[in-house]
Chains A and B, each alone.
Chain A
Amino acid sequence: MLVVDDNPVNLKLASDLLEMEGMDVYRAVDAESALEMVRKKTPDLILMDIGLPGMDGLTLTKILKEEGATKNIVIVALTAFAMKGDQEKIMASGCNGYITKPINTRKFSEEVKRFL
Chain B
Amino acid sequence: MIKVPTMHSEFTFQQIVESIPNAIILVDREGKIAFVNRQAEMLFDYNRDELSGQSIERIVPHRYREKHPGYRNMFFDDPKARAMGVGRELFALRKNGSEFPVEIGLNPLITANGTLVLVSIIDITERKRAEERFRMIVESAPNAMVLINGEGKTTLVNSQMEKIFGYSKEDLINVEFENIIPSLFKERDAGYRNSFFAMLPDTPVNNVHNLFAMHKDGTIFPVEISFHPIEHAEGTLVLAIIIDITERKNQEVNRLKSEFLTNMSHELRTPMNAIIGFSEMLIDKKVGELNAKQLEYLNDIYASGTHLLQLINDVLDLSKIEAGKIELITESFSVPNVIGEVVKVLKPLADKKGITISLYLLESVDRVCIDKSKFRQILYNLLSNAIKFSNWEGGISIETFPSNDNCFALKVRDTGIGIAREDIDRLFAPFVQLDSGTARRQEGSGLGLTLTKKIVELHHGKIIVESEINQGSEFTIILPRHISNN
Contact = CB atoms under 8 A, between A and B. Distances in A.
A103 interface: yes
B266 A51 contact: yes
A7 interface: yes
B interface residue count range (under 10 / 10 to 19 / 20 to 34 / 35 or more)? 20 to 34
Interface string B261-302: 111011001111110111011001010000000000000000
A interface residue count range (under 10 / 10 to 19 / 20 to 34 / 35 or more)? 10 to 19
B309 interface: yes
B95 interface: no
Contact of A80 (B261, B270, B278, B286): B270
Interface centre among B262, B270, B327 (most CB of A within 10 A): B270
B273 A103 contact: yes
Nearest to B269: A80
A104 B281 CA distance: 10
Interface in A65-106: 80-84, 101-106
A49 to B, nearest CB: 9
Contact of B274 (A10, A80, A82, A104): A10
Contacts of A84: 325, 327
Contacts of B263: 82
B121 to A, nearest CB: 70
A102 B272 contact: yes
B266 A80 contact: yes
A82 B309 CA distance: 14
Given A17-B281, A102-B277, A82 B272 contact: no
Contacts of B266: 51, 80, 82
A105 B277 contact: yes
Contact of A7 (B270, B278, B281): B270
A102 B286 CA distance: 18
Given A82-B262, A83-B262, A106 B284 contact: yes
Contacts of A83: 262, 265
A23 interface: no
A16 B270 CA distance: 17
A85 to B, nearest CB: 10
A9 interface: yes
A63 interface: no
A102 B273 contact: yes
Contacts of A82: 261-263, 265-266, 269
Contact of A13 (B262, B273, B284): B273
Interface in A9-27: 9-10, 13, 16-17, 20
A10 B327 contact: no
A106 B280 CA distance: 8
Contacts of B277: 10, 13, 17, 102-103, 105
A42 B316 CA distance: 39
A58 to B, nearest CB: 14
Contacts of B265: 80-83
Contacts of A7: 270, 273-274
Contacts of A105: 276-277, 280-281, 284, 286
Contacts of A13: 273-274, 277-278, 281
Interface in B246-268: 261-263, 265-266
A59 B91 CA distance: 73
B280 to A, nearest CB: 4
Contacts of B270: 7, 10, 80, 101
A91 to B, nearest CB: 15
B257 to A, nearest CB: 13
Nearest to B309: A102
Contacts of A17: 277, 281, 286
B283 to A, nearest CB: 9
Given A80-B265, A80-B266, A106-B280, A101 B273 contact: yes
Contacts of A102: 269, 272-273, 276-277, 309
Contacts of B284: 105-106
B179 to A, nearest CB: 46
Contacts of B278: 13
Nearest to A8: B274
B124 to A, nearest CB: 61
A26 B273 CA distance: 20
Those 8 A-B pairs whose CB atoms lie nearest each other, nearest first: A82-B265, A102-B273, A80-B269, A105-B280, A9-B274, A13-B277, A82-B266, A82-B262
Interface of B: 261-263, 265-266, 269-274, 276-278, 280-281, 284, 286, 309, 325, 327
15 contacts: A7-B273, A10-B270, A10-B273, A13-B274, A17-B286, A82-B266, A83-B265, A101-B270, A102-B269, A102-B272, A102-B273, A104-B280, A105-B276, A105-B284, A106-B284
Given A82-B262, A84-B327, 4 more contacts: A7-B270, A17-B281, A83-B262, A105-B276
